[in-house]
A = this chain, B = another copy of it.
Amino acid sequence: MAFALDRSPDTGGQPVYQQIAAHFRGEIEAGRLGAGDRLPTIRELARTLGVNRDTVAIAYDELSRTGFIEATVGRGTFVRQPLESEASRASAPFEPVLSPLVDRLLDFERARVRYAAPAATVPLHSLVPDPTLYPVDEFRRALNRVLGERGSELLRYGAAQGDAALRAALAERLRATGMNATADSVTLTQGASEGIVLALRLFAAAGDAVAVEEPTYHNVLGALAAQGLRAVPVPMRGGAPDLVALERVLERADVKAFYTMPTFHNPLGTSTPLAHRRALLAIAAAAGKPVIEDAYEMDLRFAGKAVPPLAALDSRGLVVQLTSFSKSLFPGARVGAIAARGRVVDALLALKHASDLGGSQVLQAALAAFVVDGGYERHLTKVRRTLLRRRDAMLDALAREMPDGVHWTEPEGGLQLWVELPDSFDTAELLPDAVRAGVLFAPGFQFRHDRRPSSGLRLSLALADGAEICRGVAALARVVRERLRAAPLREIDERVSV
């Protein structure tokens, strides 16, 4: 009864006791050891293998706990009789029937863009805020302070609504935008992402539809798929949702709400003008449909004049507003918020409680301390300055490098802008060339509800500095010009042929 053990401590291999247990499990499963067969004593086997007796004892203990062997005091250790049903079925792996919603979600996931590229590739694809700007030490100090002051209380379950100090601090910030918010109207979420899911679930259940802008944030399309909800597109025109289309869509009985990003739209980078916001609310009111305002980048305005959020213009309670620290500070605290009113707040709390009982008080309390101390405002000042410089670098580079027929948006805040190539382009198909040329971007198809090809693409200010932006935009422009030379646009052809 000797067998090979792998004893090299650094190979990351199995611990010796697990190797022993695995050996016997294998022998039993292969039928070389049968029910009633006697195993060597712990002392014998330890001597044979040259290992500690405790090691063998732990292995036997595991085999015993998992039902492969049983020890009888005074008689020895024997292979157990397996249950008939288990023995016959043990080899056939079980194929669980997944919910049809999950199957559809897996299809959705498979179509996700994978950005595999060498490390030096300029990252103009991602909206993860720049880690070199995170106030790590300040946040660590805030964590220490709140844990020191409030101790174990912070490690209990918190209220499903979230830490009261952070809700109060957020409500104060929201009031400064003209909203009528209080700590009671704010519910904390795991980033805006969970906020989106909870807001959708407030109004819509599997089989229902939700109106979304087209293009829209791709993860909203994923959230809709995961909930069994259909996306009904409202086209963006001139940087704001088309109100005629919105009115028509909201009249449909199956459409339960409108999800919109009026401030620094993702992926467009545009903002809905004030008058347009008012008209949008009037349309939603006339249709009797709630509006989910995703104000995830509201704090990142670096140019132009602030426009009040929809929630500040809404005196009736049409709007449920999502905010987040993920883009303006860092995503790692996983803290966002929903501002709502009345019965909607009760419904949110019930949904949040049924989802996870509530978020982490520790991180919420540390964020509250950071906000109240002015750390967040100081950080915003720094980030806005950085983003303005990067936007200007990007606009300059685009103007300098891009051929005629290419257009782009000029955001006044946030992390992204949109580039529209001539109609003949499919930017998903362009991406591999761009990666080879040294730049990543987010192709437009993924922001469409049906993922049909798009000639648009999203560029990000989040991760690249001014020099990288110049290099990245130049590389992208080179790829675009090469394509145009290889296959000139039809409209150019026609102009030539006339």
Contact = CB atoms under 8 A, between A and B. Distances in A.
B332 A281 contact: no
Interface string A175-196: 1111000000000011101100
Interface stretch (A201-209, A426-434, A438-446): A201-209
Interface in A27-72: 62, 65-67
Interface string A210-251: 000000000100110110100000000000000000000000
B222 A353 contact: yes
Interface string A351-373: 10111111111110000000000
B315 A90 contact: yes
A189 B144 CA distance: 24
A140 B144 CA distance: 7
Contacts of A317: 93-94, 96
A357 to B, nearest CB: 5
A331 interface: yes
A19 B346 CA distance: 28
Contacts of A361: 332
A286 B191 CA distance: 42
Number of copies: 2
A155 B101 contact: no
A101 B333 CA distance: 30
A159 interface: no
A62 B191 contact: no
Given A316-B94, A331-B157, A286 B357 contact: no
A151 interface: yes
A158 interface: yes
A66 B286 contact: no
A330 B152 contact: yes
Contacts of A66: 178, 308, 312-313
Contacts of A344: 96, 98
B140 A152 contact: no
A350 interface: yes
A83 B354 contact: no
Given A90-B316, A197-B354, 5 more contacts: A65-B178, A131-B152, A131-B156, A136-B155, A155-B332
The 3 closest A-B pairs by CB, nearest first: A155-B332, A226-B354, A66-B178
Interface of A: 18, 62, 65-67, 83, 85-86, 89-102, 105-106, 108-109, 128, 131-132, 134, 136, 139-140, 143-144, 147-148, 151-158, 175-178, 189-191, 193-194, 197, 201-206, 208, 219, 222-223, 225-226, 228, 256, 274, 278-279, 281-282, 285-286, 288, 290, 306-308, 312-313, 315-318, 326, 330-334, 342-344, 346-347, 350-351, 353-363
20 contacts: A65-B306, A65-B307, A67-B278, A90-B316, A92-B316, A93-B316, A94-B285, A99-B203, A99-B204, A109-B350, A131-B152, A132-B152, A157-B331, A190-B359, A193-B355, A197-B356, A206-B228, A222-B353, A225-B354, A333-B360
